[in-house]
Amino acid sequence: MTPQSDGPCELDVARADLIHAVEIVAGLMGKQSSGVSLQFEVGWLWIESGAGIAKTPARGIWPLTIIVGRSWVRRLAKNMPAGDPV
């Protein structure tokens, strides 16, 4: 069963910190990696794919682990959304 949220799920992450974490994972994930997991836990956003793992400080509410395709990390590393925090 999937946990339910009473409100919007969102995180605030400093732009420079998120860029650094995404670049680490994008540079370390292998060609065999099919997905990337994003998990928020006790003030940290964890981004993991294969051998690539990074964490960055974050605040907000995000109760679920999200799995995205590995191309998402590479695209995000090249095209980070504007604004700070992201």
pLDDT at 61: 92
SS3 76: helix
Degrees to nearest 5, angle at CA 70 with 1 and 62? 40
User: Average pLDDT of 59-68?
Assistant: 92
Instruction: Give pLDDT tens digits for 1-37.
Output: 445 556 678 899 999 999 999 988 888 876 766 788 9
- Averaged over 52-81, what is the pLDDT? 88
Q: What is the pLDDT of residue 1?
A: 40
Per-residue pLDDT tens over the stretch 37-59 = 999 998 999 999 877 889 999 99
Helix (H) or strand (E) holding 74: helix 70-78
Whole-prediction pTM value?
0.81
- At 50 the pLDDT is 77
Q: Measure the CA–CA gap between 58 and 69, rounded to whole angstroms.
A: 22
